Structure 1
């Protein structure tokens, strides 16, 4: 994911807005799906995943040239580790902007659909779900940085959208694969929500998945085919 060398404030704004709109699409489409298909959970998931795929693809196209369109702390952290593209302070700033954006996005979706602001009571726990999050995150990291290291970053928007859409269905956890989004989704007691008690294990699984994905990137693509601009250029 190539990025213009925009100033850090502008990149943080892009990450905040992009992550907010991503979570709005996840939560909002989940609410709409539950209302349109109240008795068919499979159809709800299809509606929710389709909206997320389309929204994520568009958001990467819009915000990618500004910030790299990470919208995800583990993507930012792995990008820094692989490319040494800036300071740890910049990584932390990206993660903070992404998390604030995710919370704002959930609250915006609640407001648009007239859902009372509430902490989610939807418990998501179990080793099978944590394994699903590990697999989903590892695959996401491998995909993104395989594209970057082989000079095909322009394909990130459709490829990442397609992967997340597929992972909704082939992982037991429905592929959160994102610590900021996981935190944001605690602020909606709807179809897409997650209870606060379920957050820490999900994030732990995502971090493990990020390490696995990064290791696979280094093993499979030890050096870039052509040196890209570091997506997190956080200096």
Structure 2
């Protein structure tokens, strides 16, 4: 992975974490056990400290940064969808930040809360635990249901498993010119991954997973695109 020191401060990555080779780490970055950092993510600890606690994931093209002298934290089992920006904020244990959402300086996302896709969480705003925040600027929409919380927890486990799968099997290769006749299938499917609106429609899920972004405030409304 591209990892850079600045003024002698070197990123720290637990050996049980997975950081994609195209992600960039600079300076005072700390990545805990079982974390997953996706392709093209940027974690810049060049002003203040950036922390990913154990089991959290930061997906493709995310940015994690902070102001001078401050610390930004993604809590244990935190889940951050594609393209999101975290800046100088604190995201609690088990919280979810949806795709392309922005969480600004001094904001706090409570434990097991959801921030909807494309939401803008303004500086200093507090999202209480186990609530859904959505919109631009974000507002508190409602409390989360037990089914939604279970969906998020299971999806985060899928990303923790992906960290293991990636660490043990992802390798740079030359692409094939055509698919081989006995092409293997990946060991994932609808039994491991469904969007939140599908999980809602199906009722209480056994495994409603892969929460790349939080769902909306009404049944079957989707905030993932």
TM over 0.5: no
* Structure richer in strand, relative to its length: 2
Q: Give the alignment's TM-score, normalised by structure 1.
A: 0.30
* Structure richer in helix, relative to its length: 1
Q: Give the alignment's TM-score, normalised by structure 2.
A: 0.31
